[in-house]
Amino acid sequence: MRLTGKPLIVILGATATGKTSLAIDLARALNGEIISADSRQIYRHMDIGTAKATPEQRQQAPHHLIDIVNPDENLTAAEYQALAYQTIHDLHKRDKLPFLVGGTGQYITTVVEGWTIPRISPNVELRTELETFAATHGKEALHQRLAALDPLYAAKTHPNNLRRVIRALEVCLLSNSTMTEQQQRQPPPYRIYTIGLQIERDVLYARADQRVDAMMHAGFLEEVQNLLNRGYQRNLSALSGVGYTELIAHLLDHVPLAETIQRIKFNTHDFIRRQEVWFRGHDHNILWHNGTQLDMGTILHTLTRWLEE
């Protein structure tokens, strides 16, 4: 008996595990298209540092939710979720198989778990006040303010994740409820098949380091300089990602380039650890594969059988 619900394939994993290549190969084989689940790839003019699929790769398999806002524009998780659902619906209408692919755990989880996300608009004045508080008193002190208002959300949010702490405080202070209360779940009406890619930590760090070097060779520094030349300010959320923050410090604060590159690599390792923690905490029947030993024939055969059920 065929299971109910239209299919959605999810491919997730930490940075540098090989998600894009696998997604393109499977999408080509199964008449699919790719929906990016990456909170940095949504921005225009940020290609190298976000590891977007190249134009050649996008010709092999169409990509969606890439280059949809400017770096000085906000896209909330609720807005991303709505766009993702609409894109999935449109692909199903065209008899295409949707692949939700990326490493931003929150984006993926909001879609597959069906979070009811607070639709509180960003408040620039409040965010500036909270950022100033963190700069003056420390991230831990700001995190303690969140813990007093929403202890459950604070418990699963690292103090260093300043963007998420501020967003949670913003929701608490501008509404009559907490992020925990507003993040209810109503699973979407899809059959979901989730592939996770993981690689042994030391090997993954080495791959990530090589990718940083490749990005620098491809013109990452020039990309960041171009963003500054366009008038984008360093305090924008879009430019808070790993690589952009450090290269802006090199360009504006004269941090030596060699030191900057090492900081990018170190911070990328930390980011990978946080991605892995998120996915472990939201592991709903993820079928894990070693990203260095992928058996495409077996994966494709298993996935094809699942689609026929």
CATH superfamily of 6-117+184-308: P-loop containing nucleotide triphosphate hydrolases (3.40.50.300)
Long-range contacts of 184-187 (CB under 8 A, 24+ apart): 184/115, 184/116, 185/113, 185/114, 185/115, 185/116, 186/114, 186/116, 187/112, 187/113, 187/114
- pLDDT surpassing 90 at residue 34: yes
Domain with CATH 3.40.50.300 in the chain: 6-117+184-308
Q: How far apart are CA 38 and CA 241, in angstroms?
A: 11
pLDDT band at 122 (very low <50, low <70, confident <90, very high): confident
- pLDDT surpassing 70 at residue 307: yes
pLDDT for 65 equals 98
pLDDT for 2 equals 44
- pLDDT surpassing 90 at residue 281: no
Q: Which residue has the higher pLDDT, 272 or 182?
A: 272
What integer best gives the mean pLDDT of the chain? 93
- pLDDT surpassing 50 at residue 82: yes
- pLDDT surpassing 70 at residue 1: no
Pick the CATH number of 124-182 from 1.10.20.140, 3.40.1190.20, 1.10.3720.10, 2.40.10.10: 1.10.20.140
- pLDDT surpassing 70 at residue 254: yes
Domain with CATH 1.10.20.140 in the chain: 124-182
pLDDT band at 4 (very low <50, low <70, confident <90, very high): low
